[in-house]
């Protein structure tokens, strides 16, 4: 996936995240999650499982374009498939089934061909294929979990296709995109659950208001706290723990309008982890995620003024908004950060990693003739120059 395609994909992710957050019906939410995932991966089929209270995975939505299957959700036919137990009769974790195994391992599982894999029990899949004249080949299975590692369900896609309609394995770029979508989906599902709980509690309190006034006050206080937590969670990137792109866009717009009124500088840093794909390829995506989180922490600790904003911009890119900071000071701070990262060793999934970063810097005094996208464009341009000129360096726009 080239840079423009990747940027468009992540912009689409932002729009999807906003749409998912606004969805009020759980069945419609799950349908949207599956359809968006299928569309982004160009997959022939997909399934969403929901975790049940009795430690099992329940089929919630099943879609297969080739076979014309659409079950569950808001508009599909009823599902009559047995639940998948998360634990065997002897109490051991069920690692035979790929969906339950993804839950226990808390990681994405990618299978190139189910008919050539003996890692999991695909006997049922092969029997299904034989009965219907289908071939389940490439398989992508991602657990849906909250930030506290509570299992919400599993997202599973089947048979990725190329432009000619040929079945292909799920590429690394697609896996990363669907993992990001799954992260957004988990937040939206948890938010939907919290909102449903809040609404149910509110109705109960309304019925008891005359005789249980004190209990009502206490419950409303809890609801208020839950709303604050919920709002805060919507601004946090699930992988790195720093602010997400949606929050970045909102704050940049607010800060831009304030700086235009008051006439002060805004500096922006766009930074990228050099050769990050090698980290994923060499050590795996779990190590890659931990590396992202470690670098994000280093950036967040460097820029810690109340007005500073550090956010994950997309993939292995981070953005920093620095109000009241001149170009020269921004460059000095960026160089300090670059050196700090270069000299640090990060623990990631049992490995000691050394990485470098490239940084692009742009500074503007906002006026009527420019916009936030101009500042982003300048910073992105010099970030590209920093990477093109050898990486592990800082480039300042206009210098």
270, two tokens: 């766009």
185, two tokens: 């989906």
Provide the CB-side half-sphere exposure for 351 (13 A, CA).
17
**316 carries an active-site annotation:** yes
Q: At what angle do helices 245-262 and 3-22 cross, to 10 degrees?
A: 90
Catalytic residue among 190, 290, 316, 317: 316
Q: What whole-number distance in Å separates Cα of residue 70 and Cα of residue 271?
A: 43
Q: What whole-number distance in Å separates Cα of residue 379 and Cα of residue 358?
A: 11
Largest CA distance in the chain: 72
Bridge partners (DSSP) listed for residue 85: 56
- 357, containing H or E segment: strand 357-364
Q: What whole-number distance in Å separates Cα of residue 183 and Cα of residue 41?
A: 16
**Residue from 189, 197, 120, 130 nearest 154 by CA:** 189
In sequence order, what DSSP letters do the residues of 320-352 get, joined into one string?
Answer: EEEET--HHHHHHHHHHHHHHHHT--EEETTEE
Positions marked catalytic = 316
């Amino acid at each position: 996936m080239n840079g423009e395609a990747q940027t468009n994909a992540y912009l689409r992710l932002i729009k999807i995240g906003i749409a998912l957050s606004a969805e009020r019906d759980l069945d419609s939410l799950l349908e949207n999650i599956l359809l968006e995932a299928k569309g982004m991966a160009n997959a022939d089929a997909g399934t969403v499982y929901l975790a049940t209270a009795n430690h099992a995975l329940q089929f919630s939505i099943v879609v297969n374009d080739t076979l014309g299957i659409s079950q569950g959700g808001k508009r599909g036919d009823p599902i009559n498939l047995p639940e998948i137990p998360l634990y065997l009769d002897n109490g051991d974790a069920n690692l035979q089934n790929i969906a339950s195994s993804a839950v226990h391992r808390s990681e994405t599982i990618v299978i190139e061909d189910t008919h050539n894999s003996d890692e999991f029990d695909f006997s049922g899949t092969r029997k299904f294929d034989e009965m219907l004249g289908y071939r389940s080949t490439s398989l992508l299975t991602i657990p849906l979990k909250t930030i506290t590692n509570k299992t919400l369900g599993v997202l599973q896609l089947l048979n990725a296709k190329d432009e000619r309609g040929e079945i292909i394995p799920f590429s690394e770029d697609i896996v990363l995109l669907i993992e990001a979508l799954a992260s957004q989906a988990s937040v939206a599902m948890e938010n939907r659950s919290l909102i449903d709980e809040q609404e149910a509690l509110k109705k109960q309190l309304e019925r008891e208001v005359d005789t249980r006034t004190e209990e009502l006050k206490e419950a409303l206080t809890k609801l208020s706290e839950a709303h604050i937590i919920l709002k805060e969670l919507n601004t946090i990137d699930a992988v790195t723990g720093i602010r997400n792109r949606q929050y970045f866009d909102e704050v940049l717009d607010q800060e831009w309008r304030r700086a235009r009124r008051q006439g002060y500088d805004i500096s922006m840093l766009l930074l990228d982890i050099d050769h990050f794909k090698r980290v994923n390829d060499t050590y795996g995506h779990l190590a890659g995620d931990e590396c992202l989180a470690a670098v994000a922490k280093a950036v967040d600790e460097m820029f810690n003024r109340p007005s500073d904003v550090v956010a994950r911009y997309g993939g292995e890119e981070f953005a920093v908004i620095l109000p009241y900071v001149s170009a020269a000071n921004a460059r000095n701070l960026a160089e300090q950060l670059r050196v700090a990262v270069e000299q640090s060793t990060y623990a990631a999934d049992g490995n000691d990693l050394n990485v470098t970063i490239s940084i692009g810097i742009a500074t503007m005094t906002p006026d009527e003739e420019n916009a936030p996208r101009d500042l982003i464009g300048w910073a992105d341009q010099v970030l590209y120059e920093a990477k093109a000129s050898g990486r592990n360096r800082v480039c300042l726009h206009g210098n």
